[in-house]
Chains A and B, each alone.
Chain A
Amino acid sequence: MSPKPSTDPLAGVAAEPGVPKPDPMLTISDVRRSFGGITAVDVDHLEIPRGLITGLIGPNGAGKTTLFNLLTGFDTPDRGKWTFAGEDLAGVPAHLVARKGMGRTFQLTKALSRMTVMENMQLAATGQSGERFLTALVAPLWRGKEQEITERADELLVRFKLDHMRDEFAGTLSGGQRKLLEMARALMVEPALVMLDEPMAGVNPALTQSLLDHVKGLRDNEGRTVVFVEHDMDVVFDISDWVVCLAQGEVIAEGRPSEIGSNRAVIDAYLGATHSEDPAHRKKRHERRAS
């Protein structure tokens, strides 16, 4: 897989909602989901470029998490279609979506508390025949694969600086470490597309930078496509190749980070939402700049 090309792969793509892209990994058409009276997601058309980092922004309640849930099979839309790597994925159950290469993390981390960090990692590996009932009873049939999996997991744990917690229950990890574990675990599945729902939220500022480096690494070193939700605009503009802004379920703007920062619709959408500009947030941002 190639590292990030120096020329802009999105050159010539206009910064307007629903604009087609040269090499989309994920194409979403007319996806709609409402809960009772409110429309949580109503996306006419959206393409996610392959091999790049797309930042998904929008005020609280904009429908970002719901969109993730729909695309990954955790929720069912009222209507709509989407294709992932050319394959129609609407209606495919979550576990099959994951196996097809669409990995995700959750806004509220889902560490498997009463399993060790290593078990969390091993679980995520694919192709372990010992997960079948009858094969499970004959250890020699799966030991070799297990060793292979464990080695790969150990490498990832070192990369995510979790190796010292390897044999601890995941429930003993700090919030930030759980986010790291969840990301590392998602990578065990070898996803072509990784969807990260607020990977930086609640993470100790000392860890944010390394998390950011990991996200960039997914693109630069492994050629994966990344979509991530984040509220901190500095972070979004720092690492995204492309930014999509959702408000009240609709894509109200998309473009390069430089274009989004000055976009009228985006500013308006955020004006009512104090979330991204509350003092605590500013302070945190300030601290990171200083470091």
Chain B
Amino acid sequence: MAADIVFDALRTALGPTAAAYALLAIGLNIHFGFTGLLNFGQAGFMLVGAYGVAITVSTFGGPLWLGVLVGMLAAVVLALILGVPTLRLRADYLAITTIAAAEILRLLVRSTAAEPITGGVFGLRQFGGDFFALNPLPDGRTYFGALAASPNRAWVMLVGWSLVALMTLLVWALIRSPWGRVIRSIREDEDAARSLGKNVFSYKMQSLVLGGVIGSLGGALFALSLQTVQPDTFLPQVTFFAFAILILGGTASTGGPIVGAIIFWFLIGSLQSGLRRFSDADMLPEFFGAQAVGAVTLTFVGVLLMALMIFRPQGILGDKKELQLDVS
């Protein structure tokens, strides 16, 4: 049984969901890790990416590429709407605005009024056709050995992790450039950056847009992998998980989101697989029904974060020396 749990966990850790969350965390890393922006509404960017694809393809019968583009453009618009009024103000204004906006978006797409377009509480499905039609992997066999991925799942994994690699490369290139230097200086002290002639507002806006668009790609990937979108996937806890991944991997380290996503989902995967298998074998107490899994997962993430803060506050790839400097 232990081996089964490990394989289940690996399947989760390398699966499409982990890749999607890695993208969310890469976006948050740009916002929070490098620029110091507190975006607590990454779930909102994910939502527009997912619904961009779903609505364009499923509701309006448009092509997949257009759907992805719509999702990205919606993320740009969302970033502008969030950023214009708040980025000149203190950091907490952005935090409050983003968390509220993400929730408003979720309630909006699940509302009855929006049902003809968004499918309301039922969401949308059948928009992955184009995507899976592109799958070059032959049918009728499984992929990635013990991970036993179906051709479709293998295809999403390939595309997802390639996207993660590409975005990581993009962030790496940007952060080591003079652009990234300005971004990091804003995280350290935006008045200092201003006194040196940098247009802080413009850079914060660029950061918010970039991280949001990467988050929306995570949403599109997520939707395609499940081949369905539902509003209640985009609860605030999605952002909470993405932050947990970022902190676990190491805030402000370029590879942190990848490492964080894999380890995070490995742990979640083993937890959920363990619970399920123990429950199937009737080895859990009665009250520990299937509904408890969500609560246990959340509790576990909380404990994980606490342990991290105590034993390795810089995360796995983070720089301890950097963390110890006083940033006043």
Q: Which A residues are in CB contact (< 8 Å) with B189? A: 110, 112
One of A103, A113, A132 near B195 (C-beta < 8 A):
A103
Task: Report if A185 contacts B (CB, 8 A).
Answer: yes
Q: Which B residues are in CB contact (< 8 Å) with A113? A: 188, 325-328
Return the CB mask of A110-143 against B: 1 if under 8 Å, else 0: 1111110001001110101011110111010010
Given contacts A123-B196, A131-B182, contact A106 B191 (CB under 8 A): yes
One of A74, A146, A169, A185 near B196 (C-beta < 8 A):
A185
Return the CB mask of B159-174 against A: 1 if under 8 Å, else 0: 0000000000010011
Task: Report if B227 contacts A (CB, 8 A).
Answer: no
Task: Report if B322 contacts A (CB, 8 A).
Answer: yes
Given contacts A114-B327, A133-B206, A142-B178, contact A95 B199 (CB under 8 A): yes
Given contacts A131-B179, A136-B178, A171-B325, contact A95 B194 (CB under 8 A): yes
Interface residues of B in 203-242 (CB under 8 A from A): 206
Given contacts A98-B195, A115-B188, A126-B197, contact A139 B326 (CB under 8 A): no
One of A103, A131, A169 near B321 (C-beta < 8 A):
A169
| A114 adjacent to B196 (CB under 8 Å) | no
| B188 adjacent to A133 (CB under 8 Å) | no
Given contacts A113-B325, A139-B177, contact A123 B182 (CB under 8 A): yes
Return the CB mask of B304-328 against A: 1 if under 8 Å, else 0: 0000000000000000011001111
Chain A residue at smallest Cβ distance from B170 = A137
Chain B residue at smallest Cβ distance from A114 = B322
| Distance, CA A137 to CA B180, complexed state (A) | 10
Q: Which A residues are in CB contact (< 8 Å) with B321? A: 169
Interface residues of B in 26-52 (CB under 8 A from A): none
Task: Report if B192 contacts A (CB, 8 A).
Answer: yes
What bracket does the count of chain B residues touching chain A fall in?
20 to 34
| A136 adjacent to B198 (CB under 8 Å) | no
Task: Report if B193 contacts A (CB, 8 A).
Answer: yes
The smallest C-beta distance from A171 to any residue of chain B, in angstroms, reads 3
Q: Which A residues are in CB contact (< 8 Å) with B191? A: 74, 94, 106, 110
Q: Which A residues are in CB contact (< 8 Å) with B150? A: none
| A124 adjacent to B326 (CB under 8 Å) | no
Sort A-B residue pairs by CB-CB distance and give the 10 closest, nearest first. A171-B325, A136-B179, A130-B178, A136-B177, A110-B192, A112-B188, A98-B197, A94-B194, A99-B197, A124-B196
Which B residues have a C-beta under 8 Å from some C-beta of A?
170, 173-174, 177-182, 184-185, 187-189, 191-200, 206, 321-322, 325-328
Which A residues have a C-beta under 8 Å from some C-beta of B?
72-74, 93-96, 98-99, 103-106, 110-115, 119, 122-124, 126, 128, 130-133, 135-137, 139, 142, 146, 169, 171-172, 185-186, 188-189
Chain A to chain B contacts (Cβ below 8 Å), 14 pairs: A98-B194, A99-B197, A112-B192, A114-B187, A115-B184, A115-B188, A123-B182, A124-B197, A131-B198, A142-B178, A185-B196, A186-B195, A186-B196, A188-B196
Apart from A112-B185, A130-B177, 11 more pairs, CB < 8 Å: A72-B195, A98-B197, A104-B195, A110-B191, A112-B188, A112-B189, A113-B328, A123-B181, A136-B178, A137-B177, A139-B173
